[in-house]
Amino acid sequence: MTDGDFDDTPLLAYPPISQVLRGLHAVMPLLNYPQYEGALVSNGIIYVNSAAHIDRSFFVDVIRMPEGAVGDFLEHAATLTHRVQKGKGKMNTIITKKEEENY
């Protein structure tokens, strides 16, 4: 593929992982989800979409998130990812070169 093949493909702008952590902390403060942000970011999980491709055991073994907290974390990250992909999230798409030319 050449660079020209990607001109029509919009890039999706996913929310940062901190948005997942803050959202969960607002409804489950005892789990203190924001404490995991440093470990997540240092392991390359910076945006919500990257969490979906990682095995649950990684969050327990490496991030040190309790097993009982992992499910809600992954579910919320998947929900935010899905919203962006469907165009329902606050952050949607970045304008492509071709769209930019039409303005």
The whole-number pLDDT of residue 91 equals 47
In a domain, 6, yes or no: no
Residue from 31, 34, 24 nearest 73 by CA: 24
Statement: residue 1 has pLDDT above 90: no
In a domain, 68, yes or no: yes
The whole-number pLDDT of residue 99 equals 46
Statement: residue 98 has pLDDT above 90: no
Number of domains in the chain: 1
- Helix ranges (H only) for 1-103 are 17-27, 37-42, 48-51, 56-61, 67-85, 97-101
In a domain, 100, yes or no: no
Q: What is the pLDDT of residues 20-70, one digit of tens each?
A: 999 999 999 999 999 999 999 999 999 999 998 899 999 999 999 999 999
In a domain, 99, yes or no: no
Q: Which CATH number characterizes residue 54's domain?
A: 1.10.150
Domain hosting 36: range is 11-85
